[in-house]
């Protein structure tokens, strides 16, 4: 349910502002080791110099930071950041961060995914720069956040290169998916209580590019549920999806066997044909560089479904 709550609370990405103060009398920009100039401004945050003690309170920004080459500047990550393996994991909570615990790390930049407990105000009073990378609603917002972190950390070129590779990889994967006269339908499971995603969400938009039709769309046609409706057993059985994607294999021990054993599910097409795809929960719940892996997993599964 934590992942569901975080998804429902997703907000718009901050816009990138100007990168230097050009007004008369402004201090001359300083250069980081990577060649980026400071001061640099992203949204409402301005950094006068390249941060060297970054605390990341979210698995997705952690993955982004390391992927753009800012890993050596990261001194601590939250207790859910488990990738890459050498990230400096700590007991800091990203879901309910404690300002005093964060401040004790003496950071010069804190990156979060939300501000549910108003920690930004607390850290601001302590004069600790903070930046929020909210849950992305589409892949373009992922690219935007990668660019923003690249600008703030002094790795703009690396960030641009990463986004470029991701775009090219996803485009290639999408182009390689077999074309079908009738689209395959699918159900994407966030947890065993049947919370799902619609096509208006980050995951839904990616799967739509693969030519898949989402059975959860009818459960939230206006978007009043934020794109994360809870389906009923009856509705799902009646929808009879061709494929089932499980994003709750780690958190909730769900599998093809457990799904097939659910009451009334034995006649669902995805169950009878064995088209139940077990995803890696971590990759499926993050919107960073490994989104490419998620798209590849889904595309591989689609390709295996007979025409």
pLDDT digit string (tens) for 210-221? 999 999 999 999
Q: DSSP characters for 169-193?
A: HHHHHHHTSPP-SSPPEEEEESSTT
Q: Classify burial at 156, counting beta carbons within 10 Å of its beta carbon; exposed 0-12, middle 13-18, buried 19 or more.
A: buried
Give the three-class secondary structure for 47: strand
Interatomic CA distance for residues 53 and 304, integer angstroms: 46
Cβ contacts of residue 137 below 8 Å, gap of 6+? 10, 12, 200, 201, 202, 205
Cβ pair 199, 188 in contact under 8 A: no
Report the pLDDT value the prediction gives residue 13, as an integer from 0 to 100.
Answer: 31
Cβ pair 255, 277 in contact under 8 A: no
Question: Do the first three CATH levels of 10-169 and 180-304 match, i.e. the same topology?
Answer: yes
pLDDT digit string (tens) for 29-54? 455 545 578 999 999 999 999 999 99
Pairing mode, if any, of strands 54-57 and 37-38? unpaired
Report the pLDDT value the prediction gives residue 151, as an integer from 0 to 100.
Answer: 98
Residue spans of alpha helices (H) in 131-273 = 139-153, 156-175, 202-209, 233-239, 256-260, 269-272
Q: How many other C-beta atoms lie within 10 A of the C-beta of residue 108?
A: 17
Structural fold of domain 180-304: Rossmann fold (3.40.50)
- Helix/strand/coil (H/E/C) assignment for every residue in 84-114: CCCCCECCCCCCCCCHHHHHCCCCCEEEECC
Report the pLDDT value the prediction gives residue 31, as an integer from 0 to 100.
Answer: 52
pLDDT digit string (tens) for 96-142? 999 999 999 999 999 999 998 899 999 999 999 999 999 999 999 99
DSSP label of 250: T
276 beta partners: 244
201 beta partners: none
> What pTM, to 2 d.p., does this model score?
0.88
Interatomic CA distance for residues 66 and 76, integer angstroms: 12
Map out the domains of the chain as residue ranges. 10-169, 180-304
Find the length of the chain. Answer: 307
Nearest to 245 by CA among 237, 235, 255, 253: 255
pLDDT digit string (tens) for 140-192? 999 999 999 999 999 999 999 999 999 999 999 999 999 999 999 999 999 99
Interatomic CA distance for residues 154 and 151, integer angstroms: 5
CATH for 10-169 is 3.40.50.1980
Report the pLDDT value the prediction gives residue 254, as an integer from 0 to 100.
Answer: 97
Distance of CA 179 to the CA centre of its chain: 28
Cβ contacts of residue 270 below 8 Å, gap of 6+? 186, 187, 241, 242, 243, 244, 276
Write down the mean pLDDT value for the chain: 90
């Amino acid at each position: 349910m934590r992942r569901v709550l975080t998804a429902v609370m997703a907000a718009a990405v901050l816009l990138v502002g100007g990168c230097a103060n050009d007004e008369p009398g402004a201090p001359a920009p300083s250069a980081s080791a990577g060649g980026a100039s400071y001061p640099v401004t992203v949204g409402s945050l301005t950094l006068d110099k390249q941060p060297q003690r970054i605390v990341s309170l979210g698995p997705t920004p952690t993955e982004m930071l390391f992927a753009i080459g800012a890993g050596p500047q990261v001194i601590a990550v939250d207790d859910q950041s488990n990738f890459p393996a050498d990230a400096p994991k700590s007991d800091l909570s990203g879901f309910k961060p404690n300002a005093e615990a964060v401040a004790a790390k003496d950071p010069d930049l804190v990156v979060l995914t939300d501000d549910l407990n108003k920690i930004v105000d607390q850290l601001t009073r302590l004069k600790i720069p903070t930046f929020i990378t909210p849950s992305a609603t589409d892949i373009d917002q992922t690219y935007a956040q990668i660019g923003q972190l690249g600008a703030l950390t002094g790795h703009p070129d690396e960030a641009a290169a990463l986004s470029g590779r991701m775009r090219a990889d996803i485009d290639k994967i999408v182009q390689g998916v077999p074309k079908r006269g009738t689209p395959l339908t699918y159900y994407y499971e966030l947890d065993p209580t049947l919370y799902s995603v619609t096509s208006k969400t980050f995951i839904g938009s990616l799967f739509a590019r693969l030519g898949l039709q989402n059975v959860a769309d009818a459960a939230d046609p206006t978007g009043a549920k934020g794109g994360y409706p809870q389906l009923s057993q009856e509705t799902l059985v009646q929808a009879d999806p061709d494929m089932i994607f499980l994003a709750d294999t780690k958190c909730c021990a769900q599998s093809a066997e457990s799904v097939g054993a659910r009451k009334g599910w034995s006649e669902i097409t995805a169950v009878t044909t064995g088209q139940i795809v077990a995803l890696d929960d971590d990759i499926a719940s993050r919107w960073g560089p490994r989104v490419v892996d998620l798209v590849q997993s889904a595309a591989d599964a689609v390709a295996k479904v007979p025409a």
